């Protein structure tokens, strides 16, 4: 996949923000106004498929466009789901897509996914809700850790889900970070910053036994603030120079999941 194609979602979201006259410093995007301007109605609908999160219904003669949402989503998650479907609506090459039921995995899809469609929608949503230039600037004032990410995600920040803010933090923050989502002790997905070149356990592997995530799955307390670990706990390859490794965790009991934010710095570089 070409670099241009990979960045379509982000590029179009930037153009979208300019066209809709969203201020450069506007952190909380007014999705209700955008949906109203687009003539898109929103409704909740229960479906049998437990992975269903949202679905875009394109307008047809005598019927407006709409977005169906699975009920029970938190405000922040609901906002990302809506922005994701708006990505499908506004990215030109998505216009010929048949209505599809986007699930949880689609909302965290990476560039390695099939044809990059869901990743582009995620890039659109992230740029619309958490503009790169603003989020990177704000991340400079927030050291890695879920205590910081929760503040960025909150109603005084960007009003998004913690997971969305954590993925965005890894994407744009000036730190070597990786975000690992594990379910019942098995890694479900991973997101890494461009400069996090260290090899770590991957999708389908169990979380390392000595990790903080493993402690949480055993019923122990996690640590939203970074906890220092021996590098070998998560890093699988011998490093060229010594590093310090930190892990911050967030438990999501309703989904039997634990998010781990990993942070690596050269040894001795912390003040």
For the chain, which residues make up each domain, given as ranges? 3-129, 134-266
Per-residue tokens: 239: 């490093």
- Domain 134-266: CATH class, spelled out: alpha beta
- Worst-scoring range by mean pLDDT, 12-21, 91-100, 183-192, 245-254? 91-100
Q: Measure CA of the first residue to CA of the last residue in the chain; give whole Å.
A: 41
The answer to pTM > 0.75 is: yes
32, 36, 38, 83 from 63: Cα distances, Å: 19, 15, 13, 21
Per-residue tokens: 61: 């003669």
Please, which pLDDT band fits residue 240 given cuts at 50, 70 and 90? low
**CA 250 – CA 148 distance, rounded (Å):** 12
Q: Which of 56-70, 150-164, 237-251 has the highest mean pLDDT?
A: 150-164
Q: Average pLDDT, stretch 113-123?
A: 83
Percent of the chain at pLDDT > 70 equals: 92
- Is a pLDDT exceeding 50 seen at residue 2? no
Q: CB within 8 A of 221, min separation 6: which ones?
A: 215
Q: Which residue has the tokens 């986007």?
A: 102
Q: Average pLDDT, stretch 134-141?
A: 94
**CA 271 – CA 2 distance, rounded (Å):** 40
* Architecture of the domain defined by 3-129: Orthogonal Bundle (1.10)
Helices within 29-155 (DSSP H only): 31-38, 75-90, 104-107, 117-129, 132-139, 146-153
- Is a pLDDT exceeding 50 seen at residue 3? no
- Is a pLDDT exceeding 50 seen at residue 271? no
The answer to whether residues 40 and 16 touch, using CB atoms and an 8 Å cutoff, is no
Q: CB within 8 A of 62, min separation 6: which ones?
A: none
**CA 181 – CA 259 distance, rounded (Å):** 5
Q: Is 24 left (phi over 0), alpha (psi -120 to 50) or beta?
A: alpha
Strand locations in the chain, DSSP E?
Answer: 40-44, 52-57, 65-69, 101-103, 176-183, 186-192, 227-229, 243-252, 257-266
**Averaged pLDDT score across all residues of the chain:** 90
The answer to whether residues 134 and 23 touch, using CB atoms and an 8 Å cutoff, is no
The answer to whether residues 109 and 119 touch, using CB atoms and an 8 Å cutoff, is yes
């Amino acid at each position: 996949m070409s670099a241009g194609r990979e960045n379509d979602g982000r590029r179009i979201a930037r153009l979208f923000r300019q066209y809709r006259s969203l201020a450069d410093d506007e952190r909380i995007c007014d999705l209700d106004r955008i949906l109203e301007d687009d003539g898109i109605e929103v409704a909740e609908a229960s479906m049998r498929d437990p992975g269903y999160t949202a679905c875009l219904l394109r307008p047809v003669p005598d019927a407006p466009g709409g977005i169906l949402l699975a009920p029970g989503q938190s405000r922040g998650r609901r906002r990302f789901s809506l922005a994701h479907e708006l990505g499908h609506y506004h990215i030109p090459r998505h216009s010929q897509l048949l209505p599809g039921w986007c699930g949880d995995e689609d909302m965290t899809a990476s560039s390695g996914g099939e044809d990059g469609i869901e990743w582009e929608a995620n890039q659109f949503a992230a740029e619309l809700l958490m503009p790169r230039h603003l989020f990177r600037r704000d991340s400079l004032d927030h050291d890695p850790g879920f205590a910081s990410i929760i503040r960025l995600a909150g109603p005084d920040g960007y009003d998004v889900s913690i997971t969305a803010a954590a993925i965005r933090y890894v994407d744009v923050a000036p730190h070597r970070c990786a975000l690992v989502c594990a379910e019942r002790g098995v890694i479900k997905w991973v997101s890494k910053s461009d400069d996090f070149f260290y090899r770590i356990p991957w999708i389908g592997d169990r979380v390392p036994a000595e990790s903080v995530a493993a402690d949480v799955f055993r019923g122990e307390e996690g640590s939203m603030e970074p906890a220092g670990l021996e590098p070998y706990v998560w890093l699988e390859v011998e490093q060229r120079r010594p590093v310090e490794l930190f892990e911050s965790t967030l438990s999501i009991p309703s989904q039997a999941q634990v998010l781990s934010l990993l942070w690596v710095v050269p040894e001795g570089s912390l003040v």
